[in-house]
Structure 1
């Protein structure tokens, strides 16, 4: 059977841990019969899909079988799990082979509120009269180690593939892969055979708990993702949690955009009273044409902080020390693991300071396409530390080589030689006084 798949695939890294789950749907109903003319953006409920004309078109096509494959936890990283070092197959190999060459519909991060049960009920109510709707539990992903994760994902892929092969040839079907919840942060201890990345100067056992990625957006034109946000107020440090978008502005025809965010004061060093405080951050963006490169770049034109942690509500206009930070070409995103802090200082009181620090941030206020971050501009730049180190060492070795060649080229031989058939050479030696 030839699958003309309509796939919700190629999930993007926008799923916030504990908030969103990805959904993958594919069908052999031809695109000419049902066109996926909807967009389910990150953070929207699955009902956007089930209430769409595309869902109604699938129902009216009368598929014989509807399969809902359910796993306990699923993340966009799972679909990109790579080949093992030994050369064995990739995870979700069969599913990717079905989806790769066909039209895709992206539902990368729907709100995780009983999505499998909701889909089962909707498919049963709307398709149940003429379709056989079934839910298949495909097991859980063992996240104890990188190898166990890969093997359990491959097993789930095999279960789905074998179940699809049991269907009758040319029978119309709709299949969905969904998770009950996103994976929770776990303590992972590297084991022998795990894939390690980056430089390893010491062979040590490393354990860590991955931080949850926070994602907020305004409509489909301002995306912000980060792992941690902290506020330093004087000598106290506060963790800002539960980000919420208050309002925003963006337009494809405008060179300006803005977003207003609010946060709650989390753990950190906040007291009980301060934990109820609300911190607000207003960011304004502008496009500027660079005269040097003739390329339009975006940057933060204004950053205003407002809170009442130690007094009544007060606003602080923050300053970014690095003028090249939080800036990228107009249709690019900006990525930085440790970006420069946004700061404010009281000129009359050196102890009255404000400092806002992000960790592992990705930001894009313009040029969002298909509900995904665009190509990223990394804050480390081209001349990073390792590149500088390699360049300096190369020039040092080149200088040593050049110095040696100069000395070798200065070596000369005698201009006269002794001829055995002629008069012998005489060298006058004069003794010093």
Structure 2
């Protein structure tokens, strides 16, 4: 490696070492609560480098927004975001060759990109709730929707230096029984980074790259903390001992899990909420050249700091329509997801019911309609909830006609809940679940019980058909003779 790259990596390693020392010294700092963030620009792009935070300082949401705003105002507005599921600073100290063993590093492409950049920015400790809002902050500052991609489809996209773009690449993370599996996954992620940067280089478009994670990797952090504590002694039951720290970490984890439940999409008419929509997962797929291309809309619709565009939505006492507007979805610059609902009085049940009449995809002037009124319905005072709403697996949504463009699309809503009428405040009303009373488990139990009853009935019937003998052999009388000729 070049001398400048070695000095830069040594300075980063020194900064990380100081950071880890402060973690051991300060009781209030918990390494499980932060993730690192690395930002750099493409080769040949120079910009003023913002001053990094002091060692041990935790970057919050407001300060992170300031860093991103400074980087995007002075640097390229084509952003490549590598978003890993989990990552902690220990991943770099354990697998980055931080102790002189550079040939064994798991991040050769990342180090090469940092060396070629004129002003890289390394934030060792970013509050992981703040890192969850990176997509929302970038979306607001760039005024464009994120485009989730993979390295294979990136070559088909043509970028323009004058038009901002937000390209998101999701990277996995996991640790199995063998600790080396984490290094293999990180090495694979580094290869993806190298492949993406190579493709961006061929397009000759300047870009800003960011590498961070959604949450810390607890396994790596816990292992590093245990190794750091191994040199000293502490009473396990004493305050500040290992068990106390583990209990506190578990308590903080549960609090964060509860806080991670995001709010539903809310449409207001005259300052009053009239439509609510929530889903754990929302995705669409299109059939092209014999294969399905997927696009996840979850992070563009829900989450902290995400404000989906709802222009075109409307609601009244009998009809309501929720319109979710997106950009750059599966190659379509304009993409809309429309939920049309209605309610009316059914005389048989003597009450009002609402139905999800259609789910419509509108893209570049083309409309694909799915009919949902046959399966998706609930009393007008309730909300509708279902674990899975799709058009391809136990479909609740079906294309309107045989030739409808909807036959080339797949839509999937995981843990779906919607309410279009009689909304009180910002909370759903009582949910009418799509699961019927006779679930598959109940049917299996009933069939098994019926089979056992039939076997028992047959057995009792056979026992009742038994008849006693009408003649018996008396030992005191003459023996019964049975002629052999008969």
TM-score by length of 1: 0.43
TM-score by length of 2: 0.39
More helix per residue: 1 or 2? Answer: 2
